[in-house]
Structure 1
Amino acid sequence: MKKLWILTACCALFSACATLDQTNVDWIPIGPDFPATKAKDVQIISGREDVTRPYGNLGLLRIKNLKPDRDTLLMGVEKGRKIAASKGADAIQIGQYNSAEDGATDPRVTLIIYAIKYVDKLSEADEKAIEDFKVLGILNERTNR
């Protein structure tokens, strides 16, 4: 009986993880990538009014086609936190779109996550990332003419 319980728990975990594979994740960069931060240090906020420091948006992350259950959504938030941390984010702002709002018979959720970088205490490496991003933008503008 104990083995059956463990097997069932593992199957449930793997099926939930299957909904969080890379095929349902979009990263849309808005700013430069910074040196990675630790995921556990990335603050989770619900709205811009919760941000009390100067900041910039690093990018928009969409995690699509999630089952609308608590555990799957929490795993999606943690995955978003890890991806944002890999880009150097200090915080993420979370929103969602639920297809049930449009009358879907098999509702799915898309997490919409903004990766935020606080800009009031930038390191030299952070400032270099911003400068490099500006230079690449200038070069792209001049080569697209």
Structure 2
Amino acid sequence: MKKSLFLGALAAVLCGCATLDNHVNMDWIPIGPDFPANKTQKVEVVSGRDQITRPYGNLGLLRIKNVDPDRDSLRRGIERGKKFVASKGADAMFLGQYNSAEDGASVPKVTLIIYAIKYVDNLTPQDQKAIEDFEVLGILNERTNS
């Protein structure tokens, strides 16, 4: 029993080291409905509108704030964003950033700006229902928390 508790605590510590720093925070601004989750590895990362070649809708805006500007931290931030937008059913994420160094910050930090994109040229009946439900909730000015 003690051995399994020790291994569980060790795993939690190791997982904590592999994530972004605790001072990093995320906020999600929904614009469209949540769709059934997508697999993280299927989410495309695009950095220019010209890279989006299919009709799409924007599901929302994700901001990951206070990311250190080093390569590894940025990569972890992008992966965290990718996992989050996949949970909302996104097919792609349009990636941008704001770097506080541009405004002369003494300790520069990066805010990753991610638009969650859903391609609309091949919607499943389940996807179509999510859109219809969202439209009804919008008319009623209600949101569900999921």
Q: TM-score, with normalisation over the residues of structure 1?
A: 0.84
CA RMSD of aligned residues (A): 2.0
Is residue 21 of structure 2 the alignment partner of residue 19 of structure 1? yes
- Paired residues for 1:1-145 under 5 Å: 14=16, 17-19=19-21, 24-140=25-141
Superposed displacement of residue 18, structure 1? 4.3
- Equivalent position SS for 2:19: helix
2-structure distance, mates of 1:20, 1:126? 35
| Gap regions ≥5 residues in structure 2 | 1-12
Identity %: 66
Superposed displacement of residue 17, structure 1? 2.2
Residues 12 and 71 (structure 1), Cα distance of their counterparts in 2 relative to 1, 3 Å cut: farther
Higher helix share: 1
2-structure distance, mates of 1:129, 1:75? 30
2-structure distance, mates of 1:68, 1:42? 23
Amino acid at match of 1:70: R
Superposed displacement of residue 117, structure 1? 0.1
2-structure distance, mates of 1:14, 1:110? 21
The answer to whether the Cα contact below 8 Å between 1:20 and 1:76 also exists between their aligned partners in 2 is no
1:4-63 residue CA offsets vs partner (Å, 9 max, x unmatched): xxxxxxx99845624267x61001000000000000000000011110000000000000
List structure 1 segments (4+ residues) > 4 angstroms apart after TM superposition. 11-16
Superposed displacement of residue 86, structure 1? 0.1
Residues 32 and 25 (structure 1), Cα distance of their counterparts in 2 relative to 1, 3 Å cut: same
2-structure distance, mates of 1:20, 1:118? 33
| Gap regions ≥5 residues in structure 1 | 1-10
1-structure distance, mates of 2:89, 2:98? 25
1-structure distance, mates of 2:22, 2:87? 17
- Equivalent position SS for 2:108: coil
